[in-house]
Amino acid sequence: MDRINGEMHPLITKDVAEALISKQIHTVLDFIKAEPQQVVKAARLNFREVLAVRNFLLKKFSAGPRNGFDCYRDTINNAAIIPTGIKGVDNLLDGGLFTGNIYEICGLPAAGKTQFALNVIKNVVQNTQQHVYVFDTKNDYSGAKIKSLLNEQKHQRNCLSRILVSRATTKYDLINGLYEVKKDLERGLKLRLIIIDSLPCTILNSIDRIENNASLNHLVNIMRYVAIEHHIVFLVVNLIVTWNENDGRDTVEKTLCGKYWSTVPNTRIKIEKVESSGMYKVVIQNSDTLVNKLNSGTDIRLSNEGFL
């Protein structure tokens, strides 16, 4: 659902929008769900004006009927497969990453998750004219690293210019950033891939689980909308941690961000470093489209040009 802003309606000025946001009315849905009297107090509008704005927003943002054949034709014309550029992984994924899907790459610390994401970025900007959007939540994105992976020196500048990076240190930065991306897509931005590196850094920076889950639900809703409506691939980096259970007798691995998040990715890919061999193992842990590939894996090698 769109964020409240000063361009939605003549009565919602910039000052009114800021007043609503200060009262936790952030989106159109929040405005519609709020009691009219609450909005009257927050926005300093009269009751009749609030109802007029509410009716306008309901008409503008309510879902309308869509022709099934038009939806099918839109998918056929715009859906695509985005190769990762890693032969073994592309074979494992039946060609690569499918637009309209959310993929998760997870692993223990220093397992090669960010390097995997860099590989995908390199392949998209080097072999297509599309942009890549990176949400850097760890403040460690390095243009030098991606530059070193690019093969064709003379095209490095053009390739690097197609990588859009946004620093997102909080969950609100991430959510607001995705709304801005949505606006850019509606204005004509050519984008195929959005990377979030990494999700736990923003979602788990509060001890309030209710707030975290509410923010995560909000985030997932906008991710799914952008992925499906604009034929985008999401690649989300997540972390696996080890826990000791049964008084330390058993060690188990758990993927962060909770049970709700575990149901979100269409495909979960685990990457694991094979000690002392220079090799990495990539395994499909879960998928709603690659059911016959569950627990299947492939070995990949890290070189100066990235994963091979």
To 10 degrees, what angle do helices 47-61 and 36-43 make? Answer: 110
Answer whether 0.85 is exceeded by the pTM. no
How far apart CA 260 and CA 285 sit, in angstroms, is: 16
Q: What's the rounded mean pLDDT across residues 154-167? A: 86
Indicate the domain borders of the chain.
Answer: 14-61, 72-307
Which pLDDT value is given to residue 145? Answer: 79
Cα three-residue angle 2-4-7, rounded to 5 degrees: 100
Q: Which fold has domain 72-307?
A: Rossmann fold (3.40.50)
Question: By C-alpha distance, which of 267, 143, 118 is closest to 193?
Answer: 118
| Contact (Cβ atoms closer than 8 angstroms) between residue 99 and residue 77 | no
- Please report, rounded to a whole number, the percentage of residues in the chain having pLDDT higher than 90: 44
How far apart CA 197 and CA 136 sit, in angstroms, is: 5
Which pLDDT value is given to residue 212? Answer: 83
Which pLDDT value is given to residue 299? Answer: 93
Which pLDDT value is given to residue 149? Answer: 77
pLDDT of residue 31 exceeding 80, the answer is: yes
Which pLDDT value is given to residue 154? Answer: 64
Q: What's the rounded mean pLDDT across residues 73-87? A: 89
| Contact (Cβ atoms closer than 8 angstroms) between residue 219 and residue 171 | yes
Residue 308 binned pLDDT confidence (cut-offs 50, 70, 90):
confident
| Contact (Cβ atoms closer than 8 angstroms) between residue 267 and residue 284 | yes
**Per residue in 277-294, pLDDT tens?**
779 999 999 999 999 999
Which pLDDT value is given to residue 94? Answer: 93
Which pLDDT value is given to residue 7? Answer: 83
pLDDT of residue 151 exceeding 70, the answer is: no
44: amino acid identity, one letter: R
**From the CB of residue 171, how many other CB atoms can be counted at a distance below 10 Å?**
23
Q: What's the rounded mean pLDDT across residues 255-274? A: 93
Please report the sign of the dihedral spanned by the C-alpha atoms of residue 146, residue 152, residue 156, residue 160.
Answer: negative
**Per residue in 176-230, pLDDT tens?**
999 999 999 999 998 999 999 989 988 887 778 888 888 899 899 999 999 999 9
Residue 1 binned pLDDT confidence (cut-offs 50, 70, 90):
low
Secondary structure of residue 247 in the 3-state scheme: coil
pLDDT of residue 153 exceeding 70, the answer is: no
Which pLDDT value is given to residue 72? Answer: 81
**Per residue in 98-148, pLDDT tens?**
999 999 999 999 899 999 999 999 888 888 878 999 999 988 887 777 887
pLDDT of residue 260 exceeding 80, the answer is: yes
User: Three-state secondary structure along 162-224?
Assistant: CEEEEECCCHHHHHHHHHHHHHHHHCCCCEEEEEEECCHHHHCCCCCHHHHHHHHHHHHHHHH
Q: What is the average pLDDT value for the chain, to the nearest integer?
A: 88
285: amino acid identity, one letter: Q
Residue 59 binned pLDDT confidence (cut-offs 50, 70, 90):
confident
